[in-house]
Structure 1
Amino acid sequence: MVCKGCFLTALGEIKCFIELAVQNKLSSSDSGIPVADNKGREPPKHKLSESVRDDVKKHIQSFPEYESHYSRKTKTKKYLPSHLNHTKMYEIYKTGSAIPRFSAKDMGKNKTVLEEHQTSAEDEYEKKREEKDKAKVNPSYKVFSFDLQQCLPFPYLNTSVSFYKRQLRVFNLTSHDCATKEVKCFMWHEGIANRGANNIASCLVKLTDNLPRDVKHAVFYSDTCPGKNLNSHVAVMFSCALQRITILQYIGHEFMVPGHTHLECDYDHSAIERQRKKTPVEIAHPRD
C-alpha cells in the first residue's frame, strides 16, 4: 500500500489513467495481463480515401510550375504562378471534383548577430541616401538602382482556364535614376533569351552607353542575387565600360544587405502591377 498522490506524482500519471489500467486488469483473463484495447485499429472517420488524395495530387500537378525568380545553379524547387493562391486552387478544384520563422529563444541566442545585421543594413541605406543627395547637386555624378521584376505571365487572363496553360514569361529589368527619378525598362521574353548574368549585363551595357556625356562618376545599387548581379559577368561588363567610355572615371556597384534590399525600382514594379490589374482589356501579347 502506497500513498495515491505520491504514486501518481512519482509515475507522472493522472488518476483517470491508473483507474483505467486497474479496470482493464480486473476485466482481463486470469493471467492478470491487461487485454489490448482497440484504439487505433480503425482509420479516422475524417481521413480521406486514397482515391480522393490521388485526385488532389493530380489537381495540384495540373498547374504549370516555374523556377524561382532568383536563379541558382541547382534548381530543385518549383513554384506556382504568382497569381495563384490556395483559395483559387480550391475553388477550381470544387468546380471540377466531387469533393522560416525564428523562435524567441533562437533570436535571443543570435541577438548580437541580429543587431550587427540591422546595423549593416542601415549603414548601407544611409550610404545610398548620401550618394543620392550628391547626385542631385552634381550633374557629373549618377546613382542608379536596378532590379529584375518578377516574371510577367502572358497572356494575362483572369479566367480559370489560363491557370492550366503554360504562359509565356516576360522579363523586365528596371533601372531607376535616383536623382532625376527617370525609369527605364528593359523587356524581353523567354523566347528571346533567359534571365542570367549575361542578360542582365547586356541591359546594363545599354544603360551605361546612354549615360549623359558629362557623367564621370556612376554608382549602381542592386541586391546580392549571384545568378544576376553578384557575379564576374557583371563585374567584367563594368570594367569594359570604363575602358570603352573614356570620360567615365569611376563605376561603383554596391550591394544591399540580404533581407534589406528595398530599392527605388521596387516602387516602379508596384506601379506596373497596379496598372496591369486595372487594364480594361486583356493582355494577350508582350507589346500590350
Structure 2
Amino acid sequence: MSNSDEEINNTFVHNTKKRKKTGRLREVMKKLRVSTHEPGDDCRCKRLKCFDRISSEQSAKFLKDFNSMNYTDEQNIYLCGLMNVYSIKRRRSRKTEEMDANFHQTHFTYKVRVIENDETKEEPVCYKAFLSIFGIIKGKLEHLQKSLKMSGTAPSDKRGKSGSNKRLDNNIKDLICNHIKSFKGRQSHYSLNDTKKEYVPEDLNIKKMYKLYLDAYESQNHVCYETCRTIFNTEFNISFGYPRTDTCSACDEFKIKAKALRAEGNIVELIRFTILNNLHKKKAQTFYDRKKNARIKSKSDVEFQAIAMDYQKNVSLPNISTSDVYYKRQLSMYSFNIHALGDASSYFYTYPETCGCKGSDEVVSFLFQYLTNHLDSRVKHLEIFCDSAGGQNKNYTVIRFIHFVVHKMKLLDSIKITYPIREHSYLECDKNIGLINLKAHIEVP
C-alpha cells in the first residue's frame, strides 16, 4: 500500500484525535486517508493458473473499480463479497504430537467477476492472485477473514468512533455563552435590513475573551481555547470593531419612542412612527442605490466618472502615550480623501492646521487639483457623492466652483453632486480612512 502524495485519494474521512500539549488535552482534527492500491506480481499459480485466465486489461479494470471507491467500508464490503467461507471439522496434520497440530475451523475461497459476452461469471483465483489483483497486503486480508469468521459480515471502519471523547457539560457551555454575552455589543445602523449581527470593541478578540474567562472561572470550570472558539463561531454572530462611531439620531430616537409606545400599548402612534422610520430608511437607501449605479456605470463608460469625498478625523500631534501631552496645546493634522468609484483609486490630501482650515475653500482646492491632474481627459460627466456638512460640501462656494468648471473652464460637460440624508452617508472613503492606524506612535507630521 503506497502513501505517496501523488497516490492519495481525494476523499477523506475526518476523525477527532486527542493529544497532550502544555499539560492540557485539546482536540485536533486528523484526516484519515483512503490510499490508492497498486497491482502486485504474478502469482505463478500452477493449479488455477489465475493470470492465464484473467487478462491484464481485466485485472486493471478490477483495480480501477476498487480504487474508485471512496470509503474503507465500501471497499471491505466489495472484497468480502468475493470471498466464500466454509466450515470444516478438522484438517489432518502430519505432526505426530497432537498438541503441536494446527486445527482449522474455516476455509476460504476467492473469486473475481468477469464480464464476457454481456454475461457476468465468477472466476476462482488463488490467495496470492487475490492479493495481487486488488493491491492489498496480507494483514488486510487477514482482517477481513477474521471479521467473516466472527460475525459473517464485512468489518466497518471504527476510526473516530471510539466514543472516548468527553462531551462538554451543558452547564459549562451555558457559562461560556453567558460570559460572551456579558460583552455588550451593538448593531450597525448602516444595515437597513433586519439583522442580528452585533459589533464589540475592536480592542477585543477571542483570545482576550478566553483569558478573561479563565480569570473568572479557571478554578471551577476549565475548558480549552478551541472549545470557546468553536462556541463563539457557531453560537454567536459577533464581529470585532464598530463600522462607524457615529449613529443616526433619527434611528436612535425611533428605537426609544417605539420601546416606550409598546410598553404603553399605544399601537396607533407606534404604527405612525414605524411608517416615518421606514420612509427615513428608504431615503437613505436611495442614496446608496444611486452610488451603486454610478459605480457600475463608471466602470463601463469612459466618459463618465463618479467619486466620493470626505474628511478624516483630526489627528492631534504628538500622538504619544505620555499623559502630559493631553494638557498641552497640540497640532491638528487634517486629511481629505477622494475615492474614484470606477477604478477604486484613492487620493489623500494631508496638511497641518498651520496651512489651512477644514472649510469650503480647501474642498474646492482639492477638487480642482484632482480634476486637472488625476481625472481622465476622456471623462465628460462627473458625479460627486459626499456628506451634507454645511461648512465643507453643502454651500455656495462648492456650487459656484462647479458652475465655474462647467461653464467657464469648459473642463466637463456636467457635474452632479448628491447629498444623503443626515447621518446616513457611509462612503468608500470611510474604508480607506479605516486603514490608517490613528493609534500609532506619531510625534511629527
Contact 2:405 2:411 in 1 (8 A): no
Structure 1 residue 245: deviation in Å?
4.2
- Residue in 2 aligned with 1:285? 444
Measure how far apart 1:131 and its partner are. Answer: 0.7
- Relative to the length of structure 2, the TM-score reads 0.39
For the pair shown, the structure with the greater C-alpha radius of gyration is: 2
CA displacement, residues 88-147 of structure 1 (integer Å, 9 cap, x when unaligned): xxxxxxxxxxxx643224682522221111011111111110110000111221110000
Residue 236 (structure 1) aligns with:
400
Q: Following the alignment from structure 2 to structure 1, what is the Cα–Cα distance between the partners of residues 430 and 408?
A: 30
Equivalent residue letter for 1:246: K
Distance 2:282 2:313 in 1: 28
Higher strand share: 2
TM-score, normalization: structure 1?
0.60
Map of 2:421 onto structure 1:
257
User: Greater relative contact order: 1 or 2 (C-alpha under 8 angstroms, separation 6 or more)?
Assistant: 1
Matched, 1:269 2:436: no
Q: Which runs of 5+ in 1 are unaligned?
A: 1-99
Using the TM superposition, give the Cα deviation of residue 157 of structure 1 relative to its aligned residue in structure 2, in angstroms: 0.8
How far apart in 2 are the matches of 1:152 and 1:243? 38
What residue number does 2:345 align with?
Answer: 182
SS in 2 for 1:199: helix
Number of aligned pairs? Answer: 182
| Dislocated runs of 4+, deviation >6 Å | none
| Residue pair 1:140, 1:217 contacting (<8 A) in 2 also | yes
Task: Name 1:137's counterpart in structure 2.
Answer: 300
In structure 2, C-alpha distance between the alignment counterparts of 1:187 and 1:247, rounded to whole Å:
26
SS in 2 for 1:128: helix
**CA distance, structure 2, for counterparts of residue 125 and residue 142 of structure 1:** 16
Q: Offset of 1:229 from its aligned partner?
A: 0.7
Q: Distance in 1 between matches of 2:307 and 2:352?
A: 24
| One-letter code aligned to 1:225 | A
**1:120 pairs with 255, 278, 283, which one?**
283
CA deviation string 1:150-179 (max 9, x = no partner): 111111112212111211011111000111
Post-superposition offset of 1:239 = 1.1
Q: Following the alignment from structure 1 to structure 2, what is the Cα–Cα distance between the partners of residues 143 and 135?
A: 6
How far did residue 203 of structure 1 move? 1.4
1:225 is the counterpart of 2:384? no
* Structure 2 residues not aligned, in runs of 5+: 1-248, 262-268
Cα displacement string for residues 176-216 of structure 1 (whole angstroms, at most 9, x for unaligned residues):
01111111111121111111111212111112222211110
Aligned partner of residue 110 in structure 1, secondary structure: helix
Instruction: Kindly provide the amino acid, as one letter, of the partner of residue 130 in structure 1.
Output: N
Identity percentage of aligned residues: 24
Give the partner amino acid of 1:111.
Answer: T
Counterpart-to-counterpart distance in 2, 1:162 and 1:134: 48
How big is the shift at 1:246?
A: 2.7
How far apart are the structure 1 equivalents of 2:308 and 2:340? 7
Query: Would you say the 8 A contact 1:215–1:247 is kept in 2?
Result: no
Query: One-letter code of the match for 2:398?
Result: V
Matches within 5 A, 1:148-167: 148-167=311-330
Superimposed CA distance per residue, residues 245-278 of structure 1 (whole angstroms, 9 cap, x where no aligned partner): 4351111111122121000000011101x3x43x
User: CA–CA distance in 2 between the matches of 1:239 and 1:157?
Assistant: 44
- 1:100-111 residue pairs with structure 2 within 5 A? 101-102=252-253, 103=256, 104=258, 105=260, 108=270, 109-111=272-274
In 1, Cα distance between equivalents of 2:298 and 2:362: 27
Q: Say which SS state the counterpart of residue 121 (structure 1) adopts.
A: helix
Q: Secondary structure at the match of 1:175?
A: strand
Query: 2 CA distance for matches of 1:197 and 1:217?
Result: 22
1: distance between equivalents of 2:368 and 2:411?
16
Question: Which residue does the alignment assign to 2:378?
Answer: 214
Give 1:205's aligned amino acid.
F
Q: For residue 318 of structure 2, what is the amino acid of its counterpart? A: P
Decide which of 287, 309, 326 is 1:146's aligned counterpart: 309
- For residues 19-34 of structure 1, the aligned pairs below 5 Å read none
